[in-house]
Structures are given as C-alpha cells and as structure tokens.
Amino acid sequence: MNRLAALVLVLTASGLHAHSLHQSTAEAEYNAQTKKLEVSLTVFINDLELALIRHSERLMSLEKTPAAELDKQILSYLAKMFVVTDAAGKVSKIEWVGRQVDGDAGKDGDPTVTLFFTIPLPQGVADAALQHAVLCDLFKDQANLLHLRDGLKKTELQFTTPNTTRNLGP
C-alpha cells in the first residue's frame, strides 16, 4: 500500500470527514469596474484537508502546514476544480486573495473555512461557464451551491456530480 493510500485510510478511519452533509456554499459577485468575479467559497475544513492531501499527495493541515504552502495547494486544487471559461473556451486564471477560518461551526457542528479569490472576466459573466467540482472527487453526494450577483441580477446555481458545469449567463 503506498504512503498516500495509508494516510487516507488512517484519516478516514479516524473520522476526519464524519459529517453527513457534503455541501459547499459560494457567493460570487461580478465587479464591472475591475472586470472580475469576486468569490467566497465556504467548505468544511476536514473535507478541504482531505482534498488537499489527495491532490498534493502529502499531509496538509490548516493548523500545521505553513500558510504559503497551504495557500499554494489550495490555489492549485481550485484551479483544477473551480474552472471558469469564457465564450471561446479560454480558462480564466484564479487570483488568490486569502482564507478565513469561520468562528461558528457548520451545519453539522464541523468547522468551516472560507476561501476568497477573484477570476478575471473581461467580457463579463453572460457568456462564461463554470465547472464547480470542488470536493466532488471525494463525495458522490457533494452539492455545491453558488449565489451569483451580476449588477441587479441574482442567480442561484447548484452543481452536483455529474452536473458540475453550468453557464453563468442567461
């Protein structure tokens, strides 16, 4: 058994992701002045750590991993799992802003962290598409909710396996 498989087995057996709810929530607002989609994505800490362990093939912890290394791995994971493309299919690069551990526990009593990032969209969201597969690689029942604001227009989108890609515009 390789080291990663053994590590995941130990973490799983220890109840690292013992909660029954597999959901993330995100708020995204298109800033017409900066031409960027501003995103805050809230996930359970245990789920994020497990995803980062699998993605990086090393032990990752919000408490123990140096901040710069952790942020780099989060950004790398997001670049693979939260992908915005324009009308021509060009992928927009995520720009990391930061993260904040939330003071209150999530719906199942598990702590959460909110990730903040922006995505340049010079043409706006009307012709953009989002693949939001965050944590879908871990949980078959993962549901990712997105509340999108573009000026006065508000949209709510849900992403689940296998429907992880949706158009952001009308």
pTM over the 0.75 mark: yes
pLDDT (0 to 100) of residue 21: 74
Q: What is the pLDDT of residues 102-118, one digit of tens each?
A: 876 545 568 999 999 99
Q: What is the mean pLDDT of residues 31-47?
A: 96
Q: Is 33 exposed, middle or buried (0-12, 13-18, 19+ CB in 10 A)?
A: exposed
Whether 92 contacts 121, CB under 8 Å? yes
What does the mean pLDDT of the chain come to?
87
